[in-house]
Homo-oligomer: A and B are copies of this chain.
Amino acid sequence: MDSTRQPDLTRQRILEASFAEIHRHGFQAASVANILADTGLTKGALYHHFPSKKDLGLAVVDEMIGIGLVERYIRPLRDAEHPAQALIELIGMKQGISEEFIRLGCPLNNLMQEMSPVDEEFRNRLNRLLSQWQEAFEETLRRAQMAGEVRGEVNCHAAALFIVSAWEGCTGVAKNMQSVEAFRACMSQLQGYVVSLLKT
């Protein structure tokens, strides 16, 4: 037998369904019943693995959104040999901006806007991800600065903060406009900003 009792797989399925549900409706409007319907499980299962809906949401932040963030954006930057080039390419990425993702927006941004005024614990967890992201940009800029590619007077910390902010802003606006083109145009301007940090 292989399909009987695989608790950590069950847990993962709950997390994935929860991520999708939260991505669609936000956390507060996310329905536990929908998550159960999607997984084919029942309340007993969910509340066995997670003590409450809030804990489930926090787990989604850490184990789904956080990991995705690291894999997609942070690690590629850390591993990059040519930091400035890697950063610009990352911003101008032409792959993987599915229509669906534009419609639903950035999961991190969505939850920040929804939850940060409502719940401190959410805000702190989300802030950790935000900081990680910002630090990845900052480190990349600093490396490029060391390599003489970025101008010396550039405030890497503030620039990294702005890149994160503008990035989220672009996804947010594109989400409302439901326009991949707008997203590209917007990110292209952000790319221009980063280029303006480089030495001529």
Contacts and interface: CB of A to CB of B under 8 A. Distances in A.
Interface of A: 24-26, 28-29, 103-105, 109-110, 112-114, 116-118, 123, 126-127, 130, 158-159, 161-162, 164-170, 172-178, 182, 185-186, 188-190, 193, 196
Nearest to A26: B114
Given A25-B118, A114-B114, A130-B177, 17 more contacts: A26-B28, A29-B29, A109-B113, A113-B175, A158-B189, A161-B173, A161-B182, A162-B190, A164-B173, A165-B166, A165-B173, A165-B174, A166-B169, A169-B169, A169-B172, A193-B196, A196-B196
Contacts of A110: 113
Contact of A175 (B116, B174, B182, B189): B116
B176 A162 contact: no
Contact of A189 (B112, B114, B159, B167): B159
A121 to B, nearest CB: 13
Given A161-B182, A169-B165, A117 B130 contact: no
A112 B24 CA distance: 14
A114 B117 contact: no
Contacts of A196: 193, 196
A185 B116 CA distance: 20
Contacts of A190: 162, 166
Nearest to A126: B176
Contacts of A175: 112-113, 116-117
A186 B173 contact: no
A50 to B, nearest CB: 21
A163 to B, nearest CB: 9
A112 B176 CA distance: 6
A191 to B, nearest CB: 10
B169 A185 contact: no
A124 B74 CA distance: 34
Contact of A168 (B173, B182, B193): B173
